[in-house]
Amino acid sequence: MSSPCRSAVSLAALAVLTVAACDREEREPRGAPVGDSGPAAITQGTLYAGQPSPPGPSHREYEGNAYHISQGKQLYVWFNCGTCHANGGGDIGPPLMDDQWIYGGTLENIHATILQGRPNGMPSFRGKIPEQQVWEIAAYVRSLSGQTPKAASPGRSDSLNAKPDEQRMPREEPKGSSPGGPNLEGRQ
Amino acid sequence: MSRALRIGSLGLALCLALPGCQGVQSALDPAGHQAGRIAGLWWLFLGVLAVVYLVVLAGLLIAASRPRRRGVLPNGPSFAREERIERRLTGGLTAWAVGTGAIILTLTGLSYAVDRDILGLTDKAELEIEVTAKQWWWQVKYNDPVPSRSFETANEIRLPVGVPVRIVLKSQDVIHSFWVPNLHGKTDLIPGRVNETTLVADREGRFRGQCAEFCGFQHANMALDVVAMPRDRFDAWRESQLSPAAAPADDLARQGQQVFLSAACVMCHTIHGTTAASRVGPDLTHVASRPSLAAGTLPYSKGNLAGWIADPQRIKPGNQMPITSLSPDQLQGVVAYLDSLK
Amino acid sequence: MEKAPHFVTDLAHLPTSAHGPRSATWWGTLGFILIEGTGFALAAAAYFYLMGQPETWPPGQAPPDWLWGTAQLILMLASLLPNLWTDRVAHQEDLRKVRVGLVVMSAVGLLTLVVRAFEFGALNCRWDDNAYGSIVWVLLGLHATHLVTDIGDTLVLTALMFTRHVEPRRYTDVTDNCVYWNFVVLAWVPLWGLLYVVPRLV
Amino acid sequence: MTAGTDTAVVRRDGPGLGEAETNARLARSWATPPGLWGWLSTVDHKQVGRRYVVTAFTFFVLAGLLALAMRMQLAGPERTLLSPDRYNQIFTMHGTTMMFLFAVPMMEAFAIYLVPLMVGTRAIAFPRLNAFSYWVYLAGGIMLWVAFILNVGPDVGWFSYVPLAGPQYSPGKRVDFWAQMVTFTEVAALAVAVEIIVTVFKQRAPGMSLNRIPLFVWGQLVTSFMVVFAMPAVMVSSSMLIMDRLIGTHFFNPAEGGDALLWQHLFWFFGHPEVYIIFLPATGFVSSILPTFARRPIFGYTALVLALFATGFLGFGLWVHHMFATGLPHLGNSFYTAASMAIAIPSGIQIFCWIATLWDGRPRFATPLLFVIGFIVVFVLGGLSGIMLASVPLDSQVHDTYFVVAHFHYVLIGGAVFPLFGAFYYWFPKFTGRMLSERVGAWNFGLFFVGFNLAFFPMHILGLIGMPRRVYSYPAGVGWDELNLLATAGAVILAAGVATFVGNVWHSLKHGVSAGDNPWGAGTLEWATSSPPPSYNFTHIPVVTGQEPLWTLPQGLPAQGLPVVGGLRVDQRELLLTTVVDADPDLREPSPEPSIWPLLSALAVTALFIGSIFTPWAVVWGAIPLAVGLIGWFWPKSPPDTPEPVID
Amino acid sequence: MYTVGASAALEHQGRRRRCFGLNIPDAEAGADVVISRLTGAMVLVACALGAAVPAPAQDASAGKAIPAAAASPADDGNWVMPGKDYASTRYSAQDEINTGNVRDLQVAFTFSTGVERGHEAPPLVVGGTMYIVTPYPNRLFALDLTKPGAPLKWSFDPKPAASAQGVACCDYVNRGPAFADGRLFINTLDGQTIAVAAETGRELWRTQLGDINKGETITMAPLVVKGKVLVGNSGGEFGVRGWLTALDAGTGTIAWKAYSTGPDADVLIGPDYKPFYDKEKGKDLGVTSWPPDAWTIGGGTVWGWISYDPELNLIYHGTANPGPWNPEQRPGDNKWTGGIFARNPDTGQARWFYQVVPHDLYDHDAINELLLLDLPVNGAMRKTVVRPERNGYLYVLDRATGEVLSADPYAAINSSTGVDLKTGELAMVEAKAPKLGKVVRDICPTAPGAKDWNPSAFSPRTGLIYIPHMNLCMDWQSSEANYIAGTPYVGAEVRMFAGPGGHRGELSAWDPVKRAKAWSVKEDFPLWSGALTTAGDLLFYGTMEGWFKALDARTGEELWRFKTGSGIIGQPIAYRGPDGHEYVAVLSGVGGWAGAVVVGNLDPRDATAAKGFATAVADLKTKTTKGGMLYVFALPQRR
């Protein structure tokens, strides 16, 4: 008699999932306006003076949204992110699919890294990539290590098979001295 | 009952009387050899099949309204079959089936002959154009045995009149379909495959082509202009396309070029003669010489160009050109610069 | 409408169960075999279609190792003997022998599943390597699904035959199950050829 | 056996038992439990069939509303009523719903309801499977529509061409819901197909040899075989699509050895027969309605049956004509041209036979016949434009344009929906016991016919002058404006026609004229029982002596009704099985009782299918409740509590 | 001499790889090892028995290859340029350490460079001082060899721009300094050439040559010829335009600059230009063999080795791959990339050019070392330049005319079938040509080639060329590359894996006269270090796990090995110390393209990491770590 029970439970769970889908599947080509994150919201270490600051806004519009992440993946290729970071494994630039974040792994950190550039070779793309596209790329970068909800993460590309696609990547728990992103997967 | 027929003939009359069949995107207004043959075949099919249809309708009409023998069985149906009538009807059926077969066979043969004829043009191509469909625009490359004499343009194809042109069709994203009804039927562009078709324009003119396979968000606004021109004008045009972009002539344009090369534009577009050489979006080296903008969405004009750059997502929602945050001054400069790229 | 019905025959003498094409279930089983056979055929057609793409075949991988697939083939062909025997004794409605047959078939079935697990391990490719890997996994997986369902059916039937549910219709269930197992085995023969022999021929 | 002779007599159908007593006992044995439990556990093919009809019609109305929305958007150039994203979802949902959730299930619905009645049996074969199929179908439909309402509607067309529908170009789960809906509906359709095949093969009334099977049943039989061979193709391809999207297989990835055209081959290997799966049952409607209203037996029974076979067979050889523009070798294309045109021959034969029947009959122009005449007018036009599409050069111009939209609406609405409405008017009395209004019926037909032609005829011309399909907008000045406006006006009239029908049904359910057993004086077996029929269909299993048993009663017997057979149990659900060819009585088999397990199994399947949109492990975990459900379903009742009565 | 190894390797060429990532034990390779051990043992026995037997005297008779005389002066015990001499022989005439005593070799001293990137440079030794240049930040150290433990004499920090790290394609390496006339010349990653006084470490001049914002870096070792410092740029993966320039050694002013693409005037093609083959003739081929404008971002960088023949007064240098990698984006021959130039060092004017890989398909830079040897060819001695090329062929060209005398495969090749000696054309295999959007599988050799930059050595004593190379194959999918200045311009996705046989590296001894492999040694990891051969009939090289090995130069038998702290990708040298004894020195510090997986801590789950190299050597992470250490070896003194 466990069958109806189970079915009911899974149906309920799925109902919740599908409601969440409203946001996840929205396709807003103009991008979503993101509140001012500013440098104040970004930290690059885990050491704080006094109490730790509250985390910055989560921008679920971007990293919970399949369309934006997918656009981010497209832009990651178009804007040559992949020629330095490969498909996440790294090349000239560091790998993006592992659990180490040199300059912070929150969406805001990645956004800042793309805009500002970093001293050891990361170019600055300020003025070169419009704001909403930077958020999209940042969201995609987080999906590389499984930080975004599975149901919103991209599947394989019509391309050479380099690695399991983002939605199949196990979530890497960010380690080391820099803050990781919020665990959206656990919250969904 | 024959309302369909009446509406049909009305429609056709309409089509013939009004500029209906004429048009920049009409299969019934052929301007090329293949489209001509196909249109001919179409009228032939239409004639034959219209007769068939009329026969069926007449049969139906008579069957429904002819006078009846009465009273075979007062209350119930006449379940007793009459041999004579059955035999006659069976004869009719046989004749009908044979007739259908004969018509079908004839039409198949005609269709095959036209198909062969159209294909015969393939080997006679003198020019090769490579068309790559992208979501949602057309990249057009004129190939030449001397690599430096090949060039790229976007969303427009110019053809010399009377010269068969091989069109090599490719796609890097999803399936599209290349269709210029006035010149020829459609051929799909399929990722992982290379298709070919041949175009030949019999007369000068400007025609409109459009993607005919559903390709996502902006399938509706993925058109291209096809311009057939005399050989000498075509050659002149070709030479002009081979030249690098003109240097900006005035301060506004110069400032616009600076903006172009330092803002988001340079991430996606190519302008020969500058450092802009990205291939995400259309090659803009001679953008101001093209008839339309945004893959046939807007006719080319300075105003439309400004509107398009200012908010491409309003004009063509979901297309890959983002909203950039250019200041009005910057926008003016970029527009002035691009408008100088004849 | 109270007319007296005009009875032309009394059918009370008709039996209430029969084996083979006389029973509806047999036809139902046949229907599903047709559906699944079509599925197999289409998947096989997809295999040949992909093989026809301009690619080496298999692309970059060694063909699946012989051992486990061939062991499976031998095991399955051998299983036809107890299966046909079970079918025969079920026709005879010999409860003791049917029980023996079902136990044997359950064991054989579970054994094929074990072998199948090793087969997946010996494919020399992953499903996400390339199209070859994908179709190979799907073909093997499709057949594995049939193994699982038939073995499930066999196990349930075995349970029924050892409890109070024995009645004539159970024997026809057994014979229908035997028919289905024959299908599962016969489907494996061409699939085996496709998975193990074809890549070595091209 | 200890049971006395009395008991035996009592428990069997036969002259010894009075009619009233027989009916009472049968009613008890075949009853569906009362209340909600009964509603959920019923296995009565008529109840399930009715649900199918109502559900499929609901989807028809919903998809029709989407069509109206599209016509509103396209009424003029560059309108912005709908965003491109919304429009793409809408046209996808329209096509998908019409094909998968309306057309095929509706035809199955009629088969489920009518085939057992027409062949003279008490129940459909595998009634629990039948109930299961409905629940699965319903779950699939609800899933798709809930997804659509939540903005997760598929947006890549009902054909879901890869790579657009693949993982790279369709992020999120929109396409997965589409693909899984396909799995749901195909499971349902395949189950029904097997039921129909077995019902027709094994449960025909004694005497209904092959040459006496009603044409409707023939149509459904051929359709069911087509389902068996065609539907696995779309299941295979949609499974491949889901795997490509979820677990990274490469079936459609051209870079890693896959191919986008593999999808098209598999899809159209299903998709083209799909048209005939919808059309052939509709020919069954026509072949049922025409003799009744022409008041003569159908002309060319054998030819019509052979035409069904020919269509069913040829239907599998045409799929490539959907792919003429893909650049396949031209010689092969010519073969498919010939095959596609050849299918006009069986269709022509059918049309001839129907017109001939009318010709030689004494027609009564009731609403069903009006719709049949409308069917011929419209469908023939669609068929003729189909011949144009079969030609490679012509197809290269009109493929994927509004010409094709016009063509297949002429074929599908003409070929299936017109007969369907005829069928509604024809069988409504049998389903409900009440007649639909003939006067409103004439209005219904008129509005529908005019609206339809106004909406779709201009599309032929639109296609020829260059308007492609599936565009959410079109520019002004290309010359498409007026015809589009005309089409939109037609669509509104068409919708009014459908609304008239709904009103007619609504009113007639309460206030319609009582129908009686056989209001039309028809000849097939479903009219030999009451309207609506009892749960056990027939008090006694009839013996069939001709193609229209009610018209061809044996000499000397008309006054007494049909001859019948006795000897079936009345205290339990028992069916008479007959031989496949001659329908000689062969076996008495029990028929299952109502059960909740089909519903529970369907729920388990639903959980498995929906779960596997999100994770492949759902297949593993979902298999456990499903196994429990199936074991519960097939677990036999305790040993027979009522021993087989002794034969005296 | 035996050639079992070579024949086995050749036999493998036609065979298909089985399952990638799976090392299938190779029966023949096993047999090879056994034979090699047996033979080695016999040689050992022979040595033990007849230690007094003199080493075979150098056979100067015809029928043997010898270095170009003018380019290889007698060894003075120093090592002043990375190639040892202008002929690039990497041969030391020191023979104190020899096959008999090498087993006693031990560490004399070490020095930590403080940098943990790929150390590809050789130390230089001039007088009593050793000079070491590190990878970025390109620090220069002078060690005083006259004192015990070789203490630091001075150091120089050029302080290059940190951002240059972002535009260095394959680790931030530097391939060595050059010495001339009391000056040291180094190139920095951010595109500068700097002259430093050898005695004091004082900066003399610096010239900015490259622009990192365009992706230009400099990693090559300069060569000083006739008072000119020859420097070429790197950045072929960034859409730069390749060039070679000559700087005045005294002032750092540019004497001439020759581009690898563009109009003849830019390429310094003038009246002196007399190529051997017709396909190299024509006006402005550097423009017309490209799509419009493509030559301006077409690569052809000069980041490899330069040789110089004083007698002919010609320098020889290669030009790297055209950009982007995706060949469909650049139809045409893409002159003057992927070829070898002979130029007049005074004016830079080209004398001849031979395009090794017209319209390069696989990132086959033609920048490998050029050995200037005089060889008997068809009975006559010819002045040749010998080049083990990335595409797997060992080319022998007439260095006066540019005629191809022979081109023989020394590694597993399936992407081409050979070179037509009449036309100089390389016959490509159509089925292995890269395609846009399609994975073309199992292409051998790979993008880094059968052999990359790491130079071979030539011993006049054995007449053999010792080629450290790789045995890898790859899957390749072209994609459309977008040029965005300062970011890579590649357009290809590559994954690499072990080639036939399952081993990934190989050291082959090649007989240029017999045009055959004399012997070869298989290595588990790709060889990314240079080779050194000495008059002691020894061959030295390092492996990526960190082994520094000495082999018998005649038989390939391993005589000695030492495990250094990190993987070795540097160039070993031998010199005579101020104490008159022979020393062997090498820098240990894994990195480079091959070692990126370790130094960049890349994630090999991504098969395309490091352009496909990371996964091919994923296990390197378990074998070694980053490091930067100089090791100097010598025989134990006065035991």
Residue-wise pLDDT for E211-267, tens only, equals 999 999 999 999 999 999 999 999 999 999 999 999 999 999 999 999 999 999 999
Look at residue B118 and tell me whether its pLDDT is greater than 60: yes
Q: Among D101-105, D171-175, D197-201, E17-21, name the one with the lowest average pLDDT.
A: E17-21
CB-CB contact of D407 with D453 (8 Å): no
Q: For E491-550, write each residue's pLDDT tens digit.
A: 999 999 999 999 999 999 999 999 999 999 999 999 999 999 999 999 999 999 999 999
Catalytic residue at E363?
yes
Q: How many CA atoms lie within 13 A of D572 on its CB side?
A: 19
Q: Which of E32, E75, E190, E237 is catalytic?
A: E237
Lowest mean pLDDT among C69-83, C173-187, D333-347: D333-347
Instruction: Give the highest mean pLDDT range of C9-18, D498-507, E27-36.
Output: D498-507
A&E contacts, CB < 8 Å: 125
Q: Which of E116, E309, E363, E545 does the annotation list as catalytic?
A: E363
To the nearest 5 percent, what fractions of chain D are helix, strand and coil? 65, 5, 30
**pLDDT classification of E330: cutoffs 50, 70, 90:** very high
**Of C162, C23, C148, whose CA–CA distance to C91 is shortest?**
C23
Mean pLDDT of A88-111: 91
pLDDT > 50? residue E9: no
| Contact between E134 and E119 (Cβ < 8 Å) | yes
Is any Cβ of chain C less than 8 angstroms from the Cβ of A3? Answer: no
Task: Compare CB distances from D453 to B3, B187, B217 and report the shortest one's residue.
Answer: B3
pLDDT value at E11 more than 80: no
Average pLDDT over chain C, rounded to an integer: 92
Q: Choose the mutation target among E435, E439, E440, E478 for the interface with D, i.e. most D CBs under 10 Å.
A: E439
Percent of chain D with pLDDT over 70: 96
Task: With respect to residue C79, please indicate whether it lies within any of the assigned structural domains.
Answer: yes
Enumerate the β-bridge partners of residue D13.
none
Give the per-residue pLDDT at B121.
Answer: 85
Give the pLDDT confidence of D365-417 residue by residue, as tens digits: 999 999 999 999 999 999 999 999 999 999 999 999 999 999 999 999 999 99
Share of chain B above pLDDT 90, in %: 82
Neighbours of chain D (3+ CB pairs under 8 A): A, B, C, E
CATH of the domain at C119: 1.20.120.80
Which tens digits make up the pLDDT trace of D561-578? 788 999 898 988 999 999
Tell whether B262 is within 8 A of chain A (Cβ): yes
**Cα(E215)–Cα(E241) distance, integer angstroms:** 10
Instruction: Check if the beta carbon of residue E340 is closer than 8 Å to that of residue E385.
Output: yes
Output the CA–CA distances (angstroms, integers) from residue E344 to E95, E256, E269, E314, E348, in the order listed: 35, 11, 11, 5, 5
In chain A, DSSP finds a helix count (H) and a strand count (E) of 7, 0
Please report the pLDDT score of residue E31 as a whole number.
40
3-state secondary structure of D138: helix
Reading the block at residue E97, the tokens are 């350490």
CA dihedral (D102, D107, D108, D112) positive or negative: positive
**Domain B251-339: what homologous superfamily?**
Cupredoxins -  blue copper proteins (2.60.40.420)
Q: What is the DSSP string of C93-149?
A: T-HHHHHHHHHHHHHHHHHHHHHHHHHHHTSSS-TTT-HHHHHHHHHHHHHHHHHHH
How many independent structural domains does chain C possess?
Answer: 1
- Give the residue-averaged pLDDT of E464-477: 97
Residue-level pLDDT at A180: 55
The partner residue sitting opposite C124, judged by closest CB among E16, E19, E475, is: E19
Residue of C nearest to D574 (CA): C16
Å from D313 to nearest chain C CA? 15
- The average pLDDT across C13-39 equals 93
Residue E538 DSSP SS3: strand
Judge whether B53 and B5 are in contact, CB under 8 Å.
Answer: yes
> What φ, ψ does residue E180 adopt, rounded to 5°?
-160, 135
| D368 upstream amide cis, omega within 30 of 0 | no
Fold match between domain B123-242 and domain B251-339: yes
Confirm if B53 and D388 have CB atoms less than 8 A apart. Answer: no
Domains of chain A by residue range:
58-175
| Among candidate residues D159, D143, D141, D162, the one with its CA nearest the CA of residue D95 | D159
Contact predicate D595/D633, CB 8 Å:
yes
CB contact under 8 A, D257 and C132: yes
Q: Which of B69-73, C47-51, D494-498, E499-503 has the lowest mean pLDDT?
A: B69-73
Lowest-pLDDT range, D3-17, D339-353, E157-171? D3-17
Question: Mean pLDDT across the stretch B120-146?
Answer: 93
Single-letter residue type at E199:
E
A183 has a pLDDT exceeding 70? no
DSSP string, C26-59: HHHHHHHHHHHHHHHHHHHHHHHHHHTSSS-SSS
- Kindly report, residue by residue over E181-207, the tens digit of the pLDDT: 999 999 999 999 999 999 999 999 999
Cα E379 vs. chain centroid, distance in angstroms? 30
Structure tokens belonging to residue D166: 């693949």
- Rounded to whole angstroms, the Cα distance separating E423 from E417 reads 15
CA atoms within 13 A on the CB side of E71: 35
**Residue C190, both tokens:** 């061409």
Cβ contact D254–E477 (<8 Å): no
Between positions 570 and 589 of D, the ones with CB within 8 A of C are 574-577, 580, 585-589
- pLDDT of C17: 87
Query: What pairs with residue E274 in β-bridges?
Result: none
Position C196 in a domain? yes
DSSP annotation of A38: T
pLDDT tens digits, C59-115: 988 999 999 999 999 999 999 999 999 999 999 999 999 999 999 999 999 999 999
In this structure, which amino acid lies at residue D583?
A: A
Architecture field, domain B123-242:
Sandwich (2.60)
Q: Quick check: C11 and D228 CB within 8 A?
A: no
Residue E455 has pLDDT above 90, yes or no: yes
In a domain, C43, yes or no: no
pLDDT 10s digits, E368-409: 999 999 999 988 999 999 999 999 999 999 999 999 999 999
Segment holding E350, helix H or strand E:
strand E350-355
**Residue E182's pLDDT is what?**
95
Contact at CB, E477 and D255, closer than 8 angstroms: yes
The two three-digit tokens of residue A56, written as one number? 């910055």
What is the rounded (10 degree) CA torsion for E166, E167, E170, E174? -100
Residue E241 in 3-state DSSP? Answer: strand
Does residue B20 surpass a pLDDT of 60? no
Statement: A58-175 belongs to CATH 1.10.760.10: yes
Instruction: Look at residues E386, E374, E309 and name the one whose alpha carbon lies nearest to residue E345.
Output: E309
Taking only residues 119 to 178 of chain A, the set having a beta carbon closer than 8 angstroms to any beta carbon of chain B reads: 127-133, 158
Tens of pLDDT, residues D61-99: 999 999 999 999 999 999 999 999 999 999 999 999 999
Assigned domain for C192 exists: yes
Q: Which two tokens stand for residue E328?
A: 């469909």
Query: Cα dist. A165→A105, A153, A160, D259, E433 in Å?
Result: 20, 9, 11, 19, 27
Instruction: State the smallest CA–CA distance between residue A64 and chain E in angstroms.
Output: 24
Give the separation between CA B28 and CA C1, rounded to whole angstroms: 66
- Using CA atoms of A51, A52, A54, A59 in order, give the dihedral in degrees to the nearest 10: 170
| Strand duo E457-459 + E439-443: pairing | unpaired
Please report which helix (H) or strand (E) contains residue D176, including its range.
Answer: helix D174-202
Q: D344 with B101: CB under 8 angstroms?
A: no
Domain boundaries, chain B: 123-242, 251-339
E555 pLDDT more than 50 = yes
For chain E, the average pLDDT equals: 90
- As a dihedral over the C-alpha atoms of residue A62, residue A68, residue A71, residue A75, rounded to 10 degrees, the angle is -10
| Mean pLDDT (chain D, rounded) | 92
Q: Which two tokens stand for residue C158?
A: 């075995």
Computed from CA positions of residues C13, C18, C22, C28, in that sequence, does the dihedral angle turn out positive or negative?
Answer: positive
CB atoms within 10 A of CB C64: 24
**Catalytic site residue from E321, E368, E391, E414:** E321
pLDDT at residue D335 greater than cutoff 90: no
* Confidence band of A11 (pLDDT split at 50, 70, 90): low
pLDDT band at D504 (very low <50, low <70, confident <90, very high): very high
Highest mean pLDDT among A53-62, D479-488, D548-557: D479-488
- Does residue C170 belong to any structural domain of this protein? yes
The pLDDT value recorded for residue A9 is 60
Active site residue E506: no
Residue of chain D whose alpha carbon sits nearest to that of E436: D255
CA B233 from chain center: how many Å? Answer: 24
Say yes or no for a CB contact (<8 Å) between D634 and C156. Answer: yes
pTM, entire model: 0.92
| Residue closest to D582 by CA, chosen among D209, D120, D201 | D209
pLDDT tens-place string over residues E46-69: 434 433 334 444 444 457 899 999
Whole-number pLDDT of residue E53: 38
- Enumerate residues 6+ apart whose C-beta is below 8 A from E145: E125, E128, E129, E130, E577, E578
Domains of chain E (ranges, CATH numbers): 8-61 (no CATH), 69-90+117-634 (2.140.10.10)
Do D257 and E439 count as a contact with CB atoms less than 8 A apart?
yes
Q: HEC string of D235-262?
A: HHHHHHHHHHHHCCCCCCCHHHCCCHHH
Segment E435-460 mean pLDDT: 95
For chain A, say whether C127 makes contact (Cβ under 8 Å): no
Q: What is the pLDDT of residue B63?
A: 93
ipTM over 0.85: yes
A127 at interface of E, judged by CB pairs closer than 8 A: no
Give yes or no for a contact between E386 and E371, defined as CB atoms under 8 angstroms apart: yes
pLDDT digits (tens, 9 = 90+) for D418-450: 999 999 999 999 999 999 999 999 999 999 999
Residues of A in contact with D624 (CB under 8 A): 6
The rounded distance, in Å, linking the Cα atoms of D440 and D512 is 12
